């Protein structure tokens, strides 16, 4: 794992070190994270970075042409109008929240079934019933508001925000 430190590292793949995440979760009394192996923590942080880095339409521009990730940025201010330099703490915290979801089995990059959600299924006669998905724009609430609100002001509001959780097949 190579952590971006705000200098535009050309092969960085995470904004957050395991140590930062450990401290973040410890300070908040979040259980479960400490039991993970270091490699599992690194993988979760990298996957969380991949997702958050690419799902949001960030304001500003990349600071360095050669940087691997979307941050650091120039011409970027937060929701209070303050200039953002380097890797903002709120981004690191959002990565930690997303990494916790990943470590719990949530697949952040989900695809919708174009046929709709399965509402009934009969195996012996191979009968399926689907509910068509309505294309609705989510406005204010999501299941992951802790991530979205930490990043507010840094991304364009028309960005598809994290709106769904873990899918389980039984």
Give the tokens for residue 133: 């998905």
- Residue 106: pLDDT band with limits 50, 70, 90: confident
At 129, give phi and psi (nearest 5°): -130, 130
**Distance (Å, rounded) from C-alpha 64 to C-alpha 29?**
37
**Position 89 in a domain:** yes
**Position 169 in a domain:** no
Cα 133–Cα 139–Cα 140 angle in degrees, nearest 5? 125
Give the tens place of pLDDT for each residue, 126-150.
555 555 555 444 333 344 777 888 8
**Position 40 in a domain:** yes
**Position 82 in a domain:** yes
**Position 42 in a domain:** yes
**Position 170 in a domain:** no
**61 lies in which domain range?**
1-134+142-164
* 3 has pLDDT over 80: yes
pLDDT for the residue numbered 149: 84
Residue in this structure with the two tokens 């509001």, named with its chain if needed? 157
- Are 55 and 158 in contact by the 8 Å Cβ rule? The answer is no
Residue of 100 and 122 predicted with greater confidence: 100
* 113 has pLDDT over 60: no
Residue of 90 and 164 predicted with greater confidence: 90
**Total domain count for the chain?**
1
Neighbour-count burial of 56, counting CB atoms closer than 10 A to its CB (0-12 exposed, 13-18 middle, 19+ buried):
buried
- Residue 99: pLDDT band with limits 50, 70, 90: very high
**Position 24 in a domain:** yes
**Position 36 in a domain:** yes
């Amino acid at each position: 794992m190579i952590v971006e430190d705000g200098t535009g590292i050309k092969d960085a793949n995470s904004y957050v070190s395991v140590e930062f995440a450990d401290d973040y979760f410890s300070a908040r009394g979040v259980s479960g994270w400490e039991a993970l192996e270091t490699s599992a923590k690194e993988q979760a942080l990298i996957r969380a970075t991949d997702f958050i880095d690419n799902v949001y339409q960030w304001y500003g521009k990349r600071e360095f042409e050669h940087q691997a990730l979307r941050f650091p940025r120039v011409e970027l201010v937060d929701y209070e109008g303050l200039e953002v330099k380097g890797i903002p703490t709120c981004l690191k915290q959002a990565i930690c929240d997303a990494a916790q979801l990943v470590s719990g089995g949530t697949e952040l990059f989900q695809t919708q079934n174009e046929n709709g959600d399965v509402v009934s299924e009969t195996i012996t006669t191979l009968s399926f019933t689907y509910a068509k998905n309505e294309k609705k724009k989510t406005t204010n609430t999501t299941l992951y508001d802790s991530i979205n609100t930490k990043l507010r002001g840094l991304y364009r509001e028309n960005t598809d925000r994290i709106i769904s959780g873990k899918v389980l097949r039984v």
